[in-house]
Structure 1
Amino acid sequence: ASVRQFNELAAGLDNAVVVNVSRDLPFALARFCGAEGLENVQVASDFRRGFGDNLGLVQTDGPLAQLLARAVIVVDGEGTVLHSQLVEEIATEPDYEAALAALR
């Protein structure tokens, strides 16, 4: 759900690129974006596990173990992290306004 929301928000932003990172395989991500009409989001597959492992975003237990936790990271053009949020519960939406505020 959050990638859909960021897709809508990104439509009005000219200074940002939204990247959705998932452990899904690239072909599955492409199929999902096509089915959902996600045109303002770039997707990246972490099926080789480098991104999530390096950033500490991997869920370690429960039915979603080894999948990525829900997180939002806002990075500027220089590579500086302007905002980050690790959402505590996977079913909880991230703070969209805080992410957008970091872009202003």
Structure 2
Amino acid sequence: MSFQDEICYPPTRSPINPELPLYKCADETYMGLYCNITNDVCERYHPCYNEAICYSNGTIELQYSCACKSNEYSGYDCEYDNRICKNNTCLNGGTCFIRNISIANET
């Protein structure tokens, strides 16, 4: 048993070639010397914006898709805000609300 196996007990990786220090993680969704770095693009990079749900493609590395929250957001990463009323839409203490698909500004 090697030092690395003792750190990662029970061993989570197996040697690819016994003569070289190359290992393959037992769980292919992880990588790194101690199999502690995730391969999942969603968990690793958090590419989706605005509370979108990220789905990674388990068969193609670094491929993912984002499911945007309703129609409020759009774009590949849900980065575009489509809401008519935003936090900064109205100035001077005004309140924004949608009325007949138009912007109403009341102070």
Normalised by the size of structure 2, how large is the TM-score?
A: 0.24
Higher strand share: 2
Structure with higher RCO (Cα < 8 A, 6+ apart) = 1
TM-score (structure 1 length as normaliser): 0.24
| Greater per-residue helix proportion | 1
